[in-house]
Amino acid sequence: MQINKNIAISDSGFIFNPSSGDSFSTNQVGLDIIRLMKEGKKNEEIISEIVAKFSIDESTVEKDLGDFSLMLRSYQLLNEND
Amino acid sequence: MSKLPYERPFIQKLNTGSMNKFGTKTEFAPVTHLDGVAVKQISEEYGSPCFVISERQIRRNYQNAVRAFKTRYPKVQFAWSYKTNYLSAVCNVFHQEGSWAEVVSIFEYKKALQNGVEGNKIIFNGPDKSLEDLKLAVENNSLIHIDHFDELYMLVGLLEGGKQKARVAIRVNMDTGIYPMWDRFGFNYENGQAWNAIIKILAHKELELVGLHCHIGTYMLSANAYATAAYKLCDLALAIKAKYGQAIQYLDLGGGFASSNTLKGSYLQGADIIPSIDDYAEAITSTVLNSNFPQDELPTIILESGRVLIDDAAWLIGSVIATKRLSDGRRATIMDFGVNLLFNAFWYDYKISPAQEFTHHMEDMVIYGPLCMNIDCIRENINLPLLNKGDQVVVHKVGAYNMTQWMQFIQMRPKIVMVDMEGKTHLLRESESLDTMMVLERMPDHLKKIK
Ligand SMILES: Cc1ncc(COP(=O)(O)O)c(C=O)c1O
């Protein structure tokens, strides 16, 4: 499960999906996660990068990442084929 | 290097097509203090959830209501509607301000006596008064508002042949153009029932007909309905004077003025559509002043306002237990308070504010309480900043009918605190504990052991 490689991300948290024409807004942590996903990072790597950058514990990030992935999937930003 | 503050990852689709043309009103800012006292401090000292009542706001509401009426009419008396909030400390703020007591059960009646209200300043309403209750009310010279013929005959039976007299009024129900019509209480005006009751009372010298009462409904959005109600009570009073030569001492218009809460399903905010207390006062007083009472026989106007005087004088502090994602993608936030504490969430869309700073990202969510039942929902759809476990919120305008209609179901009831005029907090009601819950239970011997 990977993020669609062709989505456009702006620094301000603006996301554009050219295949559907949908646009989205996200926050700093969401932006970081999407970037890391785009780089092909695995969940464990994403979690440790977030924990290193923000003052938060691992289990909270793990829980939030699961929830965030659900939202990405419901917005069809994840590539279901892999 | 210090780490950045964390905010739960969040993503929201931008729907340019369906933007609200009115613009969205951000209905909140963080509410960190209640009447000058920090929310954090209150919950550290008293726990969460916790009701917080503002003595200052009660007095302000009361004085404003009295001003609205007394600047328009010479003889006005308020009677605090106990059922709205009968915490004795709350009642006593009203009594200190000069309010009488309006009660609808012997429990409330005895509470008023216990609070030091003189018997002749207690209005005893309601359909459920036993012979014993009536005896007590007669002895205390209270104002007995008769609800039905069975009560009238019971009272006649009680007093017949004796020397005691009872001061009575009848409750009148009527068509004021408002649906639904509250015709299950009292005697109907239009079909002549009220007049029949009046004739019966006047035929008994042990009953002194001192007033006429009505309560046309609650959360009334039309001030004009009160003009109609006042008109019909005046009509009855003047007819009694004309036919029997007896002046009626007071007209009791009941309660029902709306508070600024928003009714469920209302597109507009409550505060934008409700009449002001001055609108209600104008409708009532101008009607009575324009009736044909001789100047020296103007009846006193009594009001039994409840929610309008107390709703915005109390908050509920609560905390986030958990956040979830529902199967359809909506966010669900579970709080440590539910319909067990906010019974009126069935009718109101309570305003809820975060109690701490938040970022600008917002989320639509459902707010659930902690009960294991489906109907335990406080807001079906509310837009709030991202909330996390442990965050605190403040629910606004919860003063009316919650601290009396709350239920001990699954959870025990929490503390109630008052902030006084100097900003000091006082505990008004302890939280329930297993011990307090067990005080009323009894165990048959054969069930004491389970092995
Ligand atoms: C007889 C009577 N008086 C006064 C009230 C207080 O009403 P409110 O809180 O709407 O002002 C009620 C409430 O139902 C009532 O039944």
Does the CB atom of residue B84 touch ligand 1 within 6 A?
A: yes
Distance between Cα B216 and ligand 1 center (Å): 9
In a domain, B223, yes or no: yes
Residue of B144, B304, B347, B404 with the most ligand 1 atoms within 8 Å of its CB, for mutation: B304
Let me know whether B335 and B287 are in one domain: no
| Ligand 1 atom at minimum distance from B145 CA | 1
Of B6, B12, B329, the CB nearest to A29: B6
The residues spanned by each domain of chain A are 8-74
Same domain (yes/no): B327, B216? no
Cβ atoms of residues B351 and B321 within 8 Å: no
Q: What pTM was computed for the model?
A: 0.90
Domains: count for chain B? 2
Statement to judge: residues B335 and B377 lie in one domain:
yes
Q: How far apart are the C-alpha atoms of B365 and B323, rounded to whole Å?
A: 10
State yes or no: pLDDT of A31 exceeds 90.
yes
Nearest CA to ligand 1 atom 9: B306
Is the minimum distance from the CB of B354 to ligand 1 under 6 angstroms?
no
Query: What pLDDT score was predicted for residue B23?
Result: 42
| CA atoms lying within 13 Å on the CB side of residue B407 | 9
Q: Indicate the angle between helix axes B55-70 and B277-289, nearest 10 degrees.
A: 30
- The answer to whether residues B271 and B329 belong to one domain is no
Kindly state whether residues B335 and B273 are assigned to the same domain. Answer: no
Q: Is residue B375 part of a domain?
A: yes
In a domain, residue B226? The reply is yes
B 328-367 near A (Cβ less than 8 A): 329, 359, 361
Summarised one tens digit per residue, pLDDT across range A33-62 is 999 999 999 999 999 999 999 999 999 999
Instruction: Determine the residue among A28, A31, A78 to mutate to test chain B binding: the one whose Cβ has the most chain B Cβ atoms within 10 Å.
Output: A28
What is the structure's pLDDT at B31?
A: 95
What is the rounded distance in angstroms from the CA atom of residue B183 to the CA atom of residue B212? 16
| CB of B217 closer than 6 angstroms to any ligand 1 atom | no
CB contact under 8 A, A23 and B325: no
Are A75 and B4 a contacting pair at CB < 8 A? no
CA-based nearest residue to B34, from B444, B420, B430:
B420
Look at residue B59 and tell me if it is in a domain: no
Chain A nearest-CA distance from B447, in A, is: 46
Ligand 1 contact, B256 CB (< 6 A): yes
Same domain (yes/no): B274, B141: yes
Tokens of B274: 């409700």
CATH code at B345? 2.40.37.10
Instruction: Kindly state whether residues B332 and B368 are assigned to the same domain.
Output: yes
Does residue B246 sit in the same domain as residue B338? no
Q: What is the CATH number of the domain that holds B133?
A: 3.20.20.10
- A29, A55, A71 member nearest B329 (Cβ): A71
Residue B399 lies in a domain: yes
* CA B414 to ligand 1 centroid distance, Å: 25
Do B378 and B319 fall into the same domain? Answer: yes
Give a yes or no: residue B4 inside a domain: no
B14 in contact with A, Cβ within 8 Å: yes
Domain with B41, as residue range(s), is 33-52+312-432
- Whose CA is closest to atom 16 on ligand 1? B215
Question: How many angstroms separate the CA atoms of A69 and A58, rounded?
Answer: 16
Look at residue B191 and tell me if it is in a domain: yes
User: How many interface pairs between A and B have CB atoms less than 8 angstroms apart?
Assistant: 67
Contact (CB<8Å) B11/A71: yes
CA of B123 to the centre of ligand 1 (A): 12
Residues B187 and B38 in one domain: no
C-alpha to C-alpha distance for B96 and B411, rounded to whole angstroms: 34
First to last CA, chain B: 62
Check whether residue B199 and residue B174 sit in a common domain.
Answer: yes
pLDDT attached to residue B28: 60
Question: pLDDT grade, residue A80 (50/70/90)?
Answer: low
CA distance B321 to B369: 9
Strand-by-strand arrangement of the B11-13 sheet: A8-9, A14-17, A22-26, B11-13
Contact call for residues B302 and B311 (beta carbons, < 8 A):
no
Question: pLDDT 10s digit of each residue in chain B, 451 long?
Answer: 689 999 999 998 887 544 444 444 455 689 999 999 999 999 999 999 999 999 999 999 999 999 999 999 999 999 999 999 999 999 999 999 999 999 999 999 999 999 999 999 999 999 999 999 999 999 999 999 999 999 999 999 999 989 999 999 999 999 998 877 888 899 999 999 999 999 999 999 999 999 999 999 999 999 999 999 999 999 999 999 999 999 999 999 999 999 999 998 787 888 888 999 999 999 999 999 999 999 999 999 999 999 999 999 999 999 999 999 988 888 999 999 999 999 999 999 999 999 998 887 888 999 999 998 889 999 999 999 999 999 999 999 999 999 999 999 999 999 999 999 999 999 999 999 999 999 999 999 999 999 9
**3-state helix, strand and coil shares in percent for chain A, rounded to the nearest 5:** 50, 20, 35
Q: Which of B340, B387, B309 is nearest to B55 (CA)?
A: B309
Asked if residue B79 belongs to a domain, the reply is no
Q: Is A55 on the interface with B (CB under 8 A)?
A: yes
User: CB distance from B9 to chain A under 8 Å?
Assistant: yes
Give the pair of three-digit tokens for residue B309. 């005087």
